């Protein structure tokens, strides 16, 4: 059970907020809600990061696995080599002192080497299925309900990740009760041969630091523009640029840039602050409209979109 965030007349009621919800500027948020509600669901889209945003940060007290982290190639030698790369590059990824251009090169190096190892080690789709089945990855409670609500309102959800599209898709398949035709994934997508073995990756490499550069250049259908396959092209892809109101969800301040490619009118941002709360809360509360703490479920986001587009509204 979660506390009500909005009253019936859509005003913020801070006194009713759950202890896990932080809103620095309730009035600004209320104004955004009004603007987005008035424009209607056809002008709205959701852009979400995957790891630790849609999925939980901790499961059974242990740090969550990412789409990369859960992957077991079925070949201990290659798994160990990828782990060694992680041990070397992850500290560089999170280092605050490496200049951005230098770090970008390092991330390109890391992603290229990992992708090469996945190909060289003969990753199969079957191994992805098994890895996901054996993993501890879990969606936040309420993700299915959120997707269902958005699907009913024909609101697209774009999952944006520097991870692996095929793994994310398999996580969705195995962990949600059903598939959602309004949910698209923009991430690194694999090409398999007839024997089900990975042979290459499609399009441009998406790593943590160029994820936002690639973000949503909606001037053309995404798969043309980015060289990334986001599934069947449909009217929706082309119409995304017309959806100028956005709900953005992420777990890093950098995720706020996922909407860079969109000339948005009104954006509501939700930040999941999972760790280092004391150190990071100030910057999160000033940067995101809503901050959820302590690995909160998705109920707050569901309530927000329900308030935006409930049939009674
Ligand atoms: P994202 O899911 O926030 O877009 O970022 C992907 C994460 O994947 C990033 O934090 C680093 C991690 N990663 C691995 O764990 N192993 C790898 O081999 C690579 C290339 C990335």
Q: For the segment 62-115, what is each residue's pLDDT rounded down to a tens digit? A: 877 889 999 998 889 999 999 999 999 999 988 889 998 999 999 999 999 999
SS (H, E, C) 201-220: EECCCCCCCCCCCCCCCCCC
Q: Residues lining ligand 1, CB < 6 A?
A: 49-51, 66, 68-69, 82, 85-86, 93, 110-111, 114, 161-163, 208, 211
Work out the number of other CB atoms within 10 angstroms of the CB of residue 285: 17
Check residue 238 and give its pLDDT. Answer: 52
**Least confident residue range of 58-62, 225-229, 258-262:** 225-229
CA distances from 247 to 49, 63, 258 (A): 11, 26, 11
pLDDT exceeds 60 at position 227: no
The Cα–Cα gap between 274 and 125 comes to 31
pLDDT exceeds 50 at position 131: yes
pLDDT exceeds 70 at position 218: no
Give me the sheet containing 157-164, strands edge to edge: 21-22, 290-293, 266-273, 245-250, 44-49, 157-164, 183-192, 198-202
Q: Write 139-142 long-range contacts (CB < 8 A, 24+).
A: 139/54, 139/55, 139/56, 139/175, 139/176, 139/298, 140/54, 140/55, 140/56, 140/295, 140/296, 140/297, 140/298, 141/297, 141/298, 141/299, 142/297, 142/298, 142/299, 142/301, 142/302
Instruction: Establish whether this prediction's ipTM goes over 0.95.
Output: yes
Mean per-residue pLDDT for 12-28?
74
Structure tokens at 110: 């890391």
The Cα–Cα gap between 118 and 269 comes to 35
**Least confident residue range of 80-89, 218-227, 290-299:** 218-227
Residue whose structure tokens are 């999160």: 284
CB 81 within 8 A of CB 292: no
Does the active-site annotation cover 31?
A: no
Check residue 18 and give its pLDDT. Answer: 66
Residues paired with residue 64 on neighbouring β-strands, in sequence order: none
The Cα–Cα gap between 230 and 168 comes to 12
Mean per-residue pLDDT for 45-71?
90
Mean per-residue pLDDT for 305-310?
94
Mean per-residue pLDDT for 285-307?
95
Check residue 4 and give its pLDDT. Answer: 38
Check residue 219 and give its pLDDT. Answer: 32
Who has greater pLDDT, 238 or 172? 172
pLDDT exceeds 70 at position 20: yes
Nearest atom in ligand 1 to 251's CA: 3
Residue whose structure tokens are 């860079």: 260
**Confidence band of 168 (pLDDT split at 50, 70, 90):** very high
* Atom 13 (ligand 1) nearest CA: 68
**Least confident residue range of 16-20, 40-44, 96-100:** 16-20
pLDDT exceeds 70 at position 191: yes
The Cα–Cα gap between 149 and 155 comes to 9
Check residue 51 and give its pLDDT. Answer: 93
Does the active-site annotation cover 195?
A: no
Nearest to 2 by CA among 309, 310, 294, 281: 294
* Atom 12 (ligand 1) nearest CA: 68
Tell me the torsion sign for CA atoms 118, 52, 299, 301. negative
Mean per-residue pLDDT for 170-197?
92
pLDDT exceeds 60 at position 182: yes
Catalytic residue among 38, 51, 126, 275: 51
Mean per-residue pLDDT for 145-151?
97
Continuous segment of H or E residues that includes residue 103: helix 100-120
Nearest to 188 by CA among 216, 175, 169, 172: 169
Highest mean pLDDT among 172-186, 202-216, 254-268, 295-309: 295-309
Check residue 15 and give its pLDDT. Answer: 38
The Cα–Cα gap between 120 and 43 comes to 44
CB 281 within 8 A of CB 21: no
- What does residue 135 show for φ and ψ, rounded to 5 degrees? -85, 165
pLDDT exceeds 80 at position 233: no
Report the mean per-residue pLDDT for the chain: 86
Residue whose structure tokens are 């990071």: 280
Q: Which of 48, 162, 205, 257 to mutate to test the pocket of ligand 1 (most atoms within 8 A of CB)?
A: 162
């Amino acid at each position: 059970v979660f506390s009500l965030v909005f009253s019936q007349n859509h005003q913020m009621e801070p006194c009713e907020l759950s202890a896990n919800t932080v809103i620095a500027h309730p009035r600004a948020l209320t104004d955004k809600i009004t603007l987005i509600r008035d424009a209607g669901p056809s002008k709205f889209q959701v852009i979400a990061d995957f790891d630790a945003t849609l999925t939980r940060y901790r499961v059974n007290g242990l740090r969550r696995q990412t789409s990369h982290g859960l992957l077991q190639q079925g070949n201990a030698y290659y798994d160990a080599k990828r782990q060694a790369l992680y041990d070397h590059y992850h500290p560089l990824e999170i280092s605050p002192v490496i200049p951005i251009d230098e770090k970008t090169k390092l991330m390109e190096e890391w992603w290229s080497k990992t992708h090469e190892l996945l190909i060289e080690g003969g990753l199969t789709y079957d191994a992805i299925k098994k890895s996901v089945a054996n993993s501890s990855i879990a969606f936040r409670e309420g993700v299915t309900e959120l997707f269902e609500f958005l699907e009913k309102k024909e609101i697209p959800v774009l999952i944006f990740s520097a991870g692996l599209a095929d793994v994310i898709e398999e996580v969705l398949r195995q962990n949600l009760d059903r598939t959602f035709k309004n949910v698209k994934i923009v991430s690194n997508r694999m090409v398999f041969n007839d024997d089900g073995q990975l042979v290459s990756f499609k399009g441009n490499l998406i790593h943590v630091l160029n994820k936002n550069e690639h973000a949503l250049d909606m001037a053309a259908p995404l798969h043309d523009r980015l060289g990334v396959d986001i599934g069947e092209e449909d009217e929706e892809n082309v119409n995304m640029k017309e959806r100028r109101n956005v709900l953005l969800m992420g777990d890093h301040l950098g995720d706020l840039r996922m909407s860079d490619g969109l000339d948005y009118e009104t954006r509501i941002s939700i930040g999941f602050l999972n760790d280092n709360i004391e150190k990071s809360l100030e910057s999160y509360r000033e940067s995101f409209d809503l901050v959820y703490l302590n690995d909160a479920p998705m109920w707050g986001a569901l309530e927000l979109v329900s308030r935006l587009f409930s049939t009674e509204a």
